[in-house]
Amino acid sequence: MVTMRDVAERANVSIATVSFVINGTKRVAPETRARIEAAIQELNYRRNVVARALASSRTRILALLHPDLESKPNATVIQFVMGAAHGARERGYDLVLWPVNDDEQMSHLLAGGLVDGVLLMEVQIRDARVARLLASRVPFALIGRTEDDDLPYVDIDFATTIHQAVEHLRGHGHERVALVAQQADATTEPGRIMRVESAYLDAIAPLGHPPAVIRVESTSAGGRAAARRLHDDFPEVTAVVLVNEGAAAGLAKGTRALGRQVPGDLSIISAATTRELGEMIEPSLTVMAAPAAELGRMAADALVDRLEGAEEAPPQVLIPCALVPGESVGPPPPR
């Protein structure tokens, strides 16, 4: 078995220097590092990470378990994933991606022992994967929430976010505010849909008008359908809070296609999205920017805290979105 001493001899350096490079604990000159790396490869000295894992029963690897995200090029997702990867690396952990929905494959991966803990994305209100994780006893943290509020999670603070959005619109004189939310498909019901709708009902209650909730699919076509339904079914509505990133452009386009101006006839706030997406649309949308990178980082952090015993109670973190004014909010049209 090749040892660190063999590597040191081959590279003609001290064992301490080899250790500095392997553990990243001290600066080593680039040429020396290159020599050590070459020696490691020549001797096939690959055992430190593996040996440490054997000795400690810890691999220092976390998994991000998520459904297929390829077909949803959602602007906040990449920020979230990168935030989680950064957060893990800052604590000395690696993050693997597990693009898995299938129950059997999930078992296989959990039983494999590769990871110390799991971050679960796109959590549903009743999520069979959570039951699986609990049964497997692998520590985890949720991104989003189920019905059960006792589990560790990080999530957007939808109550505060929607409340601030409605307040911003009230400040401009709006009294009839609609919600355009996401349509759940047959099998999934993201927890955020329920929480968003209940936050909206709370926020508009002081206005004393009936609610106007429209659920559409998260696409341009969905956004155009929402514009039509607002026009046909809710003509009294002068402002919209949109919590459906994929429908934002379609809503703005569809509203104009019906001869209505944004914000002249309809003001729009897009919540839980990126400022970059808001800027792409014409007029630039006023957004409540999702703290996606921060959520990713805090999720990794919370999980590592759990693994390393720093936290007794399950970590539960809520972060509101931040208002970024664009050009899509103005006073309501004169009656």
Site residues (CB under 8 A) for a second copy, limited to 32-91: 33-34, 36-38, 40-42, 44-51, 53-54, 57, 59, 61, 68-70, 73-79, 81-83, 85-86, 89
Least distance in Å: CB of 170 to a second copy? 29
User: Shortest gap between Cβ of 199 and a second copy (angstroms)?
Assistant: 25
CA 203, CA 197: separation in Å to the nearest integer? 10
The residue range among 168-176, 225-233, 274-282, 308-316 that interacts with a second copy, by the rule CB under 8 A, is 274-282
Half-sphere exposure of 317 (CA within 13 A, CB side): 19
Q: Please say which residue, 76 or 238, places its beta carbon nearer to a second copy.
A: 76
Q: Tell me the closest approach of the beta carbon of residue 149 to a second copy, in angstroms.
A: 24
Structure tokens at 159: 């109550």
Residue 179 C-beta: closest distance to a second copy, Å: 21
Q: Which is nearer to a second copy, 12 or 105 (CB)?
A: 105
- Chain positions 245 to 264 lying near a second copy, rule: CB under 8 A, are 246, 248-250, 252-253, 256
What residues from 101 to 140 belong to the interface with a second copy (CB under 8 A)? 103-105, 107-108, 110-114, 135-138
By 3-state DSSP, what share of the chain in percent is helix, strand and coil, each rounded to 5? Answer: 45, 15, 35
Size of site (CB under 8 A) for a second copy: 80
Indicate the SS3 state at residue 271. strand
279 binds a second copy (CB under 8 A): yes
Q: Output the DSSP codes for 202-230.
A: HHHGGGTS---EEEE-SSHHHHHHHHHHH
- Rounded Cα distance between 41 and 57, Å, is 25
CB of 111 to a second copy, least distance (A): 5
Phi-psi region of 57 (alpha: psi -120 to 50; beta: other; left: phi over 0): left
Specify whether the CB–CB gap between 255 and 46 falls below 8 A: no
143 is a site residue for a second copy (CB under 8 A): no
Please tell me the total number of residues recorded for the chain in this structure: 335
Note whether 20 and 35 are within 8 A (CB): no
- 202 sits near a second copy (criterion: CB under 8 A): no
Residue placing its CB nearer to a second copy in the complex, 291 or 330: 291
Binding a second copy (rule: CB under 8 A), the pick from 146, 182, 267, 274 is 274
| Positions in 305-334 near a second copy (CB under 8 A) | none
Q: How far is the CB of 165 from a second copy (least distance, A)?
A: 21
Determine how β-strand 61-66 pairs with β-strand 94-99.
parallel
CB of 219 to a second copy, least distance (A): 8
Give 51: exposed, middle or buried? Use CB within 10 Å, 0-12, 13-18, 19+. exposed
